[in-house]
Chains A and B, each alone.
Chain A
Amino acid sequence: GNSVTQMEGPVTLSEEAFLTINCTYTATGYPSLFWYVQYPGEGLQLLLKATKADDKGSNKGFEATYRKETTSFHLEKGSVQVSDSAVYFCALIRTGGGADGLTFGKGTHLIIQP
């Protein structure tokens, strides 16, 4: 079956630090990959996505590259802000047609200190 593994944290960084949150996956075929962010008390927001190998997703200074050879989709940001404090979920879905739910990692709680 499909699975996603990510560091759970909490990950605590100082403002303006470089961020990496690792995400690796196991899936049959080549899934589409996503990062979602959940701020306290809110729903999930799509942060970025990649639907095929070597695609780079980017949004709000965050980036992640779909690496087929290492089955990874690590999230990076060059300079984090206090407002980036949230829980980040790596997720995948089967690329082929058909009804599916997202397979999520356990989530990484990120805390940015001023």
Chain B
Amino acid sequence: DTEVTQTPKHLVMGMTNKKSLKCEQHMGHRAMYWYKQKAKKPPELMFVYSYEKLSINESVPSRFSPECPNSSLLNLHLHALQPEDSALYLCASSQDIGQGARKTQYFGPGTRLLVL
């Protein structure tokens, strides 16, 4: 089973709202990722967690706040977003950040976010 789940599937929020995206995997993976994908573009890396610790933050604005409460869960807290933040937000996981095939990433279905 290589399933990563994400909720909600769709989200509409105003610029003053606070919302959270949730990602879950039960494959025993110890690395989890957030990517942002704009229409007709490839995904762009935002954050990497390894063993529940933040390993990479790709200079993401502070209005995006990741959290990894345990090895199966990854959250992305959103606050004071801008319309240009509207995108598909993809979560992924991999066995860990070791060598070779261990870094193979499996993606969830994404949350489609619209900021008004």
Residues of A within 8 A of B (CB): 32, 34, 36, 42-46, 49, 51-52, 89, 91, 93-102, 104-107
User: In the complex, what residues of B have CB within 8 A of residue A98's CB?
Assistant: 97
Residues of B within 8 A of A (CB): 2, 6, 31, 33, 35, 40-43, 45, 48, 50, 55-56, 58, 88, 90, 92, 97-101, 103-110
User: In the complex, what residues of A have CB within 8 A of residue B55's CB?
Assistant: 99
Q: A38 CB to closest chain B CB, in angstroms?
A: 9
Query: With contacts A42-B110, A98-B97 known, is A106 near B103, CB below 8 A?
Result: no
Task: Let me know if B43 and A44 touch, CB within 8 A.
Answer: yes
Q: Which 9 A-B pairs have the closest CB atoms?
A: A101-B45, A104-B42, A99-B55, A44-B107, A43-B109, A43-B110, A99-B48, A51-B100, A43-B107
Task: Let me know if A101 and B42 touch, CB within 8 A.
Answer: no
- Contact partner of B42 (CB less than 8 A), chosen from A34, A93, A99, A105, is A105
